[in-house]
Structure 1
Amino acid sequence: MPEGDTVWNTARVLERALQGDVLTGSDFRVPQLATTDLTGWTVAESASRGKHLLLRLTHGERAMTLHSHLRMDGAWRAYAPGERWTGRPAHLIRVVLRTKRSVAVGYHLHEVALLPTAEEGRLLDHLGPDLLGADWDPDEAVRRIAARPEVPIGEALLDQRNLAGVGNLYKAETLFLRGLWPWTPVSAVADLAGTVKLAQKLVASNRGRWTQTTTGSLRRGQTSYVYGRRAQPCRRCGSAIQKEDQEERITYWCPRCQPKPAAEAPSGHPTAALERTEGSS
């Protein structure tokens, strides 16, 4: 799942494969960059910001950034020259970057753009503190989330304007460990700071490895408490894990360990309308 840790790890893959080398060729298979040739440019740095990948390039005094976003299905792979590309089907390739020692291939990338490095802010300035960045500031993340008290906590954690790097997996697991129903309004979360700090801790714990675990186990089928475990028994209480849409995403939770608050469900939760209808009959 491409969340903050996966993007950070991907940046390290590109760093090892390309950083410090001069590009001997490039191939962009996206319309807006189809005629771009980066041959002769030096890869100065590979970095990440939340879920955004930033490959910084220099050529003399010029500095450009190749920006890409993995979303749900993007990936970068690095190969030795002449090695077969086995990452994904060829029709999903969006970018190819070559040096004398490596070939980096970007599959199913989104929001691919080339812009002056000095202008990165126009793509990134809206983001909240980066969970894995030098700018991580839990107090600022809490301030941003608390500014919209009516928003369900599940949505607030996914909003990259609040904190950059949490995706569906870490949202679901954080809320389970904090005992929070995903539709609980931010205003009803007793320890918002504790929730934010836990989310950062979970993401950071998987930095440097590809297997994402929140349980501490790396064994297949044992890496999560609720995420991806619909109808399976809760590891704490045995209740069946629930799965439901939340805005444009899905969420998982345990109905016993994460009980709905006594107050009426937020309007965004499907049961709210049902409860109002039953109450008026």
Structure 2
Amino acid sequence: MSGRSTAFDLTGDVALVTGSSRGIGKTIAFGLAEAGASVVLNGRNEDALEQTRVEFEDHFGSDRVHVAGFDVTSPDAAAAGVANIERTVGPLDILVNNAGVQHRVPMLELDPADWDRVLSTNLTSAFLVGREAARQMIPRGRGKIINILSVQADLARPTIAPYIASKGGLRNLTRAMTAEWAAHGLQINGLAPGYIHTEMTQNLVDDEQFNSWILGRTPAARWGKTEDLVGPAVWLASRASDFVNGQTIFIDGGMSVVV
């Protein structure tokens, strides 16, 4: 804790956030930087990634904002990407596995290629990048891994089977990581957002019938905001959560606890 103002202070830490050019990942990365971390942005869209880098540098300066645009679904790219961060930015203290995609179609019409694409992006990437991060963190005896799940880790609705399977798998991957790595000083936990208003969900917000269902189904009677995840993410990334391991924290306005 020397040199840190509070247990939530991330000053001096290096944080990689996958899928951080927009949406939830971008907001979490911004929140970690506000708490003092140097952030490494990652994403597939080079233009969006560059735009986010410029925006972050305006707030935090170029020395605390970095870009690593590697493919999180490739074992070789994940290994090279994490190694490059360690070499050029510094020891990785925090990993947020946020990269994700959605695909809406009934299961009877689902192309297996789309199933594979969603599982690879949402689940396998967390295994690949998480494993490479752990290889570096374990010898140092500390590290934070935060997996971004979804309320769909516990609940299901029609037409999003690959997404549901991937997020349920990611919840158990979080537990598996804990079982193997907690003894080495790592804390691995999950954040499970409910229905968050982002570019990815804009079409659902615009659907009057679905929007009304969300407002009625959520005790808080609103859509979540990406900012709602920042406090929990900073907590799980900080020393304040050093004895929290293998847990999934639902950020859903109460949706998962009512019928």
TM bracket (short chain)? under 0.3
Query: Larger radius of gyration, structure 1 or 2?
Result: 1
Higher helix proportion, which one?
Answer: 2
- Report the TM-score, using the length of structure 2 for normalisation: 0.26
